[in-house]
Amino acid sequence: MPSPDPVPTRAQSMLRFRRIMRWMALLSIAVAGIAVLLVMQGEGAAPANMLIATALGAGLTVLLATALMTLAFLSSSSGHDEQARGRGKEGSE
pLDDT tens for 78-91 read 766 666 677 655 55
Residue pair 31/58 in contact (Cβ under 8 Å)? The answer is: yes
Q: How many domains does the chain fold into? A: 1
Closest CA to 20 of 81, 68, 85: 68
Query: Is residue 31 within 8 Å of 55, Cβ to Cβ?
Result: no
Instruction: Quote the domain boundaries for residue 41.
Output: 10-74
Q: How far apart are the first and last CA of the chain?
A: 13
Task: Please tell me the pTM assigned to this model.
Answer: 0.71
| Within a domain: 32 | yes
Residue 91, in any domain of the structure = no
The pLDDT, as a whole number, for residue 4 is: 64
Q: Report how far apart, in Å, the C-alpha atoms of 75 and of each of 18, 30, 32, 34, 57 are.
A: 14, 28, 28, 32, 27
